[in-house]
C-alpha cells in the first residue's frame, strides 16, 4: 500500500508529524510525499487514519493499493526498510552495552530495562521483513538483565 500526500506550504509541523507517524509504522519513504507499507488490515487502518489527519491539517492524501511491483522495486523497498531496522537494532545494542559498562558503578534500574524491552518491541513491530539484529538486541538485553538481577531484587526494606 502507498500513502500519497500533499500538505500546504508554510509550517513544517504537519510534514514532521506525518513523517514521524510513518516512521513509527516502519514505512518506506518513496518520495517526500509518498510512503509504502506491506499490506495488512492494521496498516490499511493506520494509513487511513493518517490520511484523515493530513486532510485535517489542510492537505490531501490518498491510500492506494499497489498490485504490481517489479522484483527490483520490491527488493529496493524491502532493503530500505530492513536497513533502517538493522540500524535501530544496532543502536539499541550500543545503548545496552553502554549501560552494561556503567553497570559496576550504577546498576540499571527496572525502569531502564523495561524501557529497553519496550523499545525492542516497537522496533520488532515495524520490522516487516525480518531485517536481522533482533536476536542480538534481545540477547544483549537478557544479558544486561541477568547481570542486574541481584541488584534489582535488593530493594531496600521498608521499616
Question: 19: how many CB neighbours lie within 10 A of its CB?
Answer: 15
**Among 87-96, 101-110, 123-132, whose mean pLDDT is lowest?**
101-110
Q: What is the pLDDT of residues 96-108, one digit of tens each?
A: 998 888 766 677 7
Dihedral angle sign, alpha carbons of residues 121, 88, 114, 24: negative
List CB contacts of 14: < 8 A, sequence separation 6 or more: 7, 8, 54, 57, 58, 59
Q: Which of 144, 149, 117, 120 is nearest to 133 (CA)?
A: 120
Q: What is the pLDDT of residue 11?
A: 79
* Average of per-residue pLDDT across 85-91: 97
Q: Give the pLDDT band (50/70/90) at residue 7.
A: very high
Q: Which helix (H) or strand (E) holds 112?
A: helix 110-125
* Distance of alpha carbon 131 from alpha carbon 53, whole angstroms: 30
pTM for this predicted structure: 0.81
Amino acid at each position: 500500500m502507498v500513502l500519497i500526500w500533499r500538505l500546504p506550504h508554510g509550517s513544517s509541523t504537519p510534514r514532521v508529524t506525518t513523517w514521524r507517524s510513518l516512521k513509527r509504522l516502519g514505512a518506506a519513504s518513496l518520495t517526500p510525499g509518498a510512503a509504502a507499507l506491506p499490506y495488512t488490515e492494521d496498516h490499511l487502518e493506520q494509513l487511513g487514519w493518517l490520511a484523515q489527519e493530513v486532510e485535517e491539517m489542510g492537505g490531501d492524501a490518498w491510500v492506494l493499493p499497489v498490485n504490481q511491483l517489479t522484483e527490483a522495486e520490491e527488493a529496493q523497498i524491502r532493503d530500505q526498510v530492513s536497513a533502517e531496522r538493522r540500524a535501530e537494532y544496532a543502536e539499541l545494542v550500543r545503548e545496552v552495552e553502554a549501560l552494561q559498562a556503567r553497570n559496576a558503578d550504577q546498576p540499571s534500574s527496572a525502569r531502564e530495562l523495561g524501557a529497553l524491552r519496550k523499545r525492542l518491541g516497537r522496533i520488532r513491530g515495524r520490522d516487516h521483513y525480518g531485517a536481522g539484529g533482533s536476536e542480538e538486541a534481545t540477547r544483549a538485553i537478557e544479558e544486561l538483565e541477568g547481570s542486574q538481577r541481584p541488584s534489582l531484587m535488593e530493594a531496600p526494606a521498608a521499616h
